[in-house]
């Protein structure tokens, strides 16, 4: 079962003005046909895969609740409908992977939010929801708004601490890769901060940035971007959900010694 928290803020659309965007690389808008989901498994091979609470809840046979905290790419901007957002597709994937358990994925994406704003609603949206696992997608809007990277780091650390104090497992998801950025080094600083923070606290990090950058190197590139040439389309969100689910399944199996 998937619960929906519909966006309450306008999507940030001044990406070109704030970071400087050149013409996109000819990626096509959303389409109905399924496509392959290219991904280099080595991108997550060295990640810590520690989801002890989530794995234990599954082993008990009880229901599990996943909260996907994030901004517009969690809410589903670019998808043809909310049923094609990544949290919805993730719910389908996890239900198939763990058929003995009732899996609930709550979409807690709010368009345009930065990390500080997400931390402000962590208690209500995740802790009070009795989440077993939080998947926290963030960083893009901090980069767009040019929030100081060290301030960004402090917000991340505070959020991680709160989630851990509540006994909830956590996966971080870093910013998306956008091929048209002129200011790539500026943007990548926020990606680096997330990597460094995840490593410091031994938090699993889903490398969305590297996955999407890998897609951009393929010839022809997969058709994964929506009409705005920034958010994912239905195929892109399906692929993202598939790979996040695979990361979770691997963590559970490792935690259960399988």
Task: Tell me what pLDDT residue 164 has.
Answer: 95
Give a yes or no: residue 26 inside a domain.
no
- 15 falls within a domain: no
User: To the nearest whole number, what is the mean pLDDT of the chain?
Assistant: 83
Both tokens assigned to 113: 């939010």
**Residue 228 sits in which domain range?**
42-255
Q: Is residue 199 part of a domain?
A: yes
d(CA 202, CA 198): 6
Average pLDDT, stretch 220-245?
88
- Range of weakest confidence among 63-72, 143-152, 216-225, 244-253: 216-225
Residue 167 belongs to some domain of the structure: yes
Is 20 within the bounds of a domain? no
Higher pLDDT pick, 36 / 148: 148
Task: Give the CATH number, domain containing residue 50.
Answer: 3.40.50.1110
The pLDDT tens digits of the residues spanning 187-220 come to 999 999 999 999 999 999 999 999 888 888 888 8
Looking at the domain assignment, is residue 29 inside a domain? no
Q: How many domains does the chain have?
A: 1
In a domain, 23, yes or no: no
Residue 11 lies in a domain: no
Q: Which residues pair with 109 in a beta bridge?
A: 70
């Amino acid at each position: 079962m998937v619960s929906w928290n519909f966006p309450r803020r306008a999507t940030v659309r001044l990406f070109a003005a704030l970071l400087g965007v050149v013409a996109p690389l000819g990626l096509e808008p959303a389409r109905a046909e399924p496509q392959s989901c290219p991904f280099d498994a080595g991108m997550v091979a060295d990640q810590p895969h520690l989801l002890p609470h989530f794995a234990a809840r599954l082993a008990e046979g009880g229901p599990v609740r996943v909260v996907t905290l994030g901004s517009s790419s969690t809410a589903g901007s670019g998808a043809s409908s909310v049923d094609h957002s990544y949290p919805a597709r993730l719910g389908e994937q996890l239900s198939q992977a763990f058929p003995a358990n009732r899996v609930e994925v709550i979409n807690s994406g709010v368009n345009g939010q930065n990390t500080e704003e997400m931390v402000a609603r962590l208690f209500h949206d995740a802790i009070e929801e009795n989440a077993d696992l939080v998947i926290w997608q963030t960083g893009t809007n901090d980069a767009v708004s040019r929030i100081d990277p060290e301030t960004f780091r402090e917000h991340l650390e505070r959020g991680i601490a709160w989630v851990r104090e509540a006994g909830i497992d956590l996966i971080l998801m870093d910013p998306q890769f956008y091929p048209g950025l002129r200011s790539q080094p500026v943007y990548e600083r926020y990606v680096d901060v997330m990597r460094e923070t995840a490593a410091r606290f031994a938090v699993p990090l889903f490398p969305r940035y590297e996955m999407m950058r890998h897609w951009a190197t393929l010839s022809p590139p997969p058709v994964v971007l929506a009409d705005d040439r920034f958010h994912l389309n239905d195929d892109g969100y399906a692929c993202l959900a598939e790979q996040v689910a695979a990361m979770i399944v691997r963590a559970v199996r490792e935690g259960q010694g399988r």
